[in-house]
């Protein structure tokens, strides 16, 4: 019985370590997406820790089909920056698709820079809901024309 307890303890220790450090910049993840966006993936852009929010993981999302009246095609396919809690991301991802280690490009980080300025002023926060819900809320906002308010 002691051997079994030791094995279970070691397993739990390693599984917690892996879970804690599972996200790294440049990773691309499949996630529980909306039915119309089966090929959509998210990419880890930056990971930060803040006393008031805990770990914040900055992601981009590609492969979307978001209604967007301002787009020539009528749809947006990409969100360049979404700040999300680690807990919400844990509830969203399904499996690691690719781990390039590639740093984000400047376009992706433009969204982060704007968010960071506003966050430091207390004017911006982070998402604490699953990614598919974020996408739905943002689509409703874009269609309603509320995304600049």
Q: Rounded mean pLDDT of 6-14? A: 44
**What does the pLDDT read at residue 20?**
55
Q: How confident is the model at residue 16 (pLDDT cuts 50, 70, 90)?
A: very low
- Token reading at 71: 């787009």
State how far the Cα of 95 lies from the Cα of 45, in Å rounded to an integer. 17
The answer to whether residue 16 is domain-embedded is no
The answer to whether residue 11 is domain-embedded is no
Q: How confident is the model at residue 17 (pLDDT cuts 50, 70, 90)?
A: very low
The answer to whether residue 86 is domain-embedded is yes
**What does the pLDDT read at residue 18?**
40
The answer to whether residue 102 is domain-embedded is yes
**What does the pLDDT read at residue 12?**
44
Q: How confident is the model at residue 105 (pLDDT cuts 50, 70, 90)?
A: confident
DSSP assignment string, 78-144: EEEEEEEEHHHHHHHEEEEEEE--PPPPHHHHHHHHHHHHHHHTT----B-S-HHHHHHHHHHHHHH
The answer to whether residue 84 is domain-embedded is yes
The answer to whether residue 18 is domain-embedded is no
Domain hosting 82: range is 23-144
What is the number of structural domains in the chain? 1
What sign results for the dihedral spanned by CA atoms 23, 24, 30, 32?
A: positive
Q: Which residues contact 26 (CB under 8 A, 6 or more apart)?
A: 43, 44, 99, 100, 101, 102, 103
The answer to whether residue 2 is domain-embedded is no
CA 24 vs CA 43, 44, 72: distances in Å: 10, 7, 34
Instruction: Look at the pTM and tell me if it is higher than 0.85.
Output: no
Asked whether residue 119 carries a pLDDT value surpassing 80, the answer given is: yes
Asked whether residue 11 carries a pLDDT value surpassing 50, the answer given is: no
The answer to whether residue 3 is domain-embedded is no
What pLDDT digit, counting tens, does each position of 56-102 carry?
999 999 999 998 888 888 888 999 999 999 999 999 999 999 988 77
């Amino acid at each position: 019985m002691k051997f079994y307890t030791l094995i279970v303890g070691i397993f739990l220790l390693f599984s917690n370590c892996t879970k804690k450090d599972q996200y790294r910049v440049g990773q691309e993840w499949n996630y529980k997406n909306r039915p119309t966006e089966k090929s959509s993936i998210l990419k880890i852009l930056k990971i930060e820790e803040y006393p008031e929010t805990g770990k914040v993981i900055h992601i981009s999302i590609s492969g979307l089909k978001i209604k967007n009246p301002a787009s020539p095609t009528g749809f947006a396919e990409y969100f360049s920056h979404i700040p999300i809690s680690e807990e919400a991301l844990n509830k969203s991802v399904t499996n690691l698709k690719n781990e390039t280690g590639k740093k984000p490009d400047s376009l992706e980080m433009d969204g982060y820079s704007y968010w960071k300025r506003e966050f430091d002023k207390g004017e911006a926060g982070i998402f604490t809901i699953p990614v598919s819900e974020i996408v739905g809320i943002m689509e409703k906002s874009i269609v309603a024309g509320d995304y600049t308010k």
